[in-house]
Chains A and B, each alone.
Chain A
Amino acid sequence: MLYLAINWPHVWLVTIVGFCMVVLLLVVLIFFLKVFGFIMKPKVKAVKPQQAACETVAVSQDTKSEDMTLTANAMAAIAMALHLYYNGVHDEEPTQVTIKKVERRYSPWNSKLYGMNNLHR
Chain B
Amino acid sequence: MAEILEFFQTMGFMNMSWQQGVMLIISFFLLYLAIKKQYEPLLLLPIAFGMLLTNLPNAGMYHSELWTNFLDATHPDYHSYGAIMREGGLLDILYIGVKAGVYPCLIFIGVGAMTDFGPLIANPKSLLLGAAAQLGIFLTFLAANALGFNEAEAGSIGIIGGADGPTSIFLTSKLAPHLLGPIAIAAYSYMALVPVIQPPIMRALTTKKERAIKMRQLRTVSKTEKIVFPIVITAVVALILPDAAPLIGCLMLGNLMKECGVVDRLSKTAQNELMNIVVIFLGLSVGATATAASFLNIRTLMILAMGIIAFSCGSAGGVLLAKLMNVFSKEKINPLIGSAGVSAVPMAARVSQTVGQEENPSNFLLMHAMGPNVAGVIGSAVAAGILLTMLG
> What is the interface of chain A, defined by CB distance below 8 A to chain B?
2-3, 6-8, 10-12, 14-19, 21-23, 25-30, 32-34, 36-37, 40-42, 72
A29 to B120: give the CA distance in the assembly, Å.
11
Inter-chain contacts of B131 with A (CB < 8 A): 22-23, 26-27
> In whole Å, how far is A46's beta carbon from the nearest beta carbon of chain B?
15
Whether, in the assembled complex, B229 has its beta carbon less than 8 Å from a beta carbon of chain A, the answer is: yes
> In whole Å, how far is A40's beta carbon from the nearest beta carbon of chain B?
5
Inter-chain contacts of B219 with A (CB < 8 A): 41
Whether, in the assembled complex, B297 has its beta carbon less than 8 Å from a beta carbon of chain A, the answer is: no
> In whole Å, how far is B102's beta carbon from the nearest beta carbon of chain A?
25
Whether, in the assembled complex, B127 has its beta carbon less than 8 Å from a beta carbon of chain A, the answer is: yes
Whether, in the assembled complex, B179 has its beta carbon less than 8 Å from a beta carbon of chain A, the answer is: no
Whether, in the assembled complex, B43 has its beta carbon less than 8 Å from a beta carbon of chain A, the answer is: no
Whether, in the assembled complex, B1 has its beta carbon less than 8 Å from a beta carbon of chain A, the answer is: no
Whether, in the assembled complex, B22 has its beta carbon less than 8 Å from a beta carbon of chain A, the answer is: no
Whether, in the assembled complex, B142 has its beta carbon less than 8 Å from a beta carbon of chain A, the answer is: yes
A40 & B228 in contact (Cβ 8 Å cutoff): yes
A21 to B378: give the CA distance in the assembly, Å.
13
Q: Which of A2, A14, A25, A41 contacts B151 (CB 8 A)?
A: A14
Known A22-B134, A29-B127; contact A42-B236, beta-carbon cutoff 8 A: no
A36 & B229 in contact (Cβ 8 Å cutoff): yes
Q: Which of B151, B229, B236 contacts A11 (CB 8 A)?
A: B151
Inter-chain contacts of A12 with B (CB < 8 A): 142
Per DSSP, chain A at the interface is: helix
B378 & A15 in contact (Cβ 8 Å cutoff): no
Whether, in the assembled complex, B222 has its beta carbon less than 8 Å from a beta carbon of chain A, the answer is: yes
Known A25-B382, A29-B124; contact A10-B151, beta-carbon cutoff 8 A: yes
**Chain B CB within 10 Å — which of A17, A22, A23, A28 has the most?**
A22
Known A14-B141, A22-B134, A29-B236; contact A37-B225, beta-carbon cutoff 8 A: yes
Stretch of B25-33, B287-295, B384-392 at the chain-chain interface: B384-392
Known A15-B141, A40-B228; contact A21-B386, beta-carbon cutoff 8 A: yes
A18 to B225: give the CA distance in the assembly, Å.
30
A26 & B142 in contact (Cβ 8 Å cutoff): no
B142 & A25 in contact (Cβ 8 Å cutoff): no
B220 & A42 in contact (Cβ 8 Å cutoff): yes
A16 to B141: give the CA distance in the assembly, Å.
11
Pull 7 A–B residue pairs with CB atoms less than 8 Å apart, ordered by A: A14-B391, A22-B131, A23-B128, A25-B237, A29-B127, A33-B127, A36-B228
Whether, in the assembled complex, B241 has its beta carbon less than 8 Å from a beta carbon of chain A, the answer is: yes
> In whole Å, how far is B390's beta carbon from the nearest beta carbon of chain A?
5
A12 to B236: give the CA distance in the assembly, Å.
27
The 10 tightest CB contacts between A and B, nearest first, are A33-B124, A26-B131, A26-B127, A19-B138, A30-B124, A23-B131, A42-B222, A15-B138, A11-B145, A40-B225
Of residues 221 to 236 in B, which have CB atoms within 8 Å of A's CB atoms?
Answer: 221-222, 224-225, 228-229, 232-233, 236
A14 & B134 in contact (Cβ 8 Å cutoff): no
1/0 per residue B208-222: CB within 8 Å of A? 000000000101111
A19 to B155: give the CA distance in the assembly, Å.
12
Inter-chain contacts of A42 with B (CB < 8 A): 220, 222
Inter-chain contacts of B154 with A (CB < 8 A): 11
Inter-chain contacts of B378 with A (CB < 8 A): 26, 29
A26 & B390 in contact (Cβ 8 Å cutoff): no
Known A30-B125, A36-B232; contact A25-B241, beta-carbon cutoff 8 A: yes
Inter-chain contacts of B225 with A (CB < 8 A): 36-37, 40-41
A36 to B381: give the CA distance in the assembly, Å.
22
Known A28-B240, A36-B229, A40-B222; contact A22-B125, beta-carbon cutoff 8 A: no
A21 to B137: give the CA distance in the assembly, Å.
13
Whether, in the assembled complex, B383 has its beta carbon less than 8 Å from a beta carbon of chain A, the answer is: yes
Beyond known contacts A28-B240, A29-B233, A34-B124: 14 more, CB 8 A cutoff = A11-B141, A11-B142, A11-B154, A14-B141, A14-B390, A18-B141, A19-B137, A22-B134, A22-B383, A22-B386, A26-B130, A26-B379, A29-B236, A32-B233
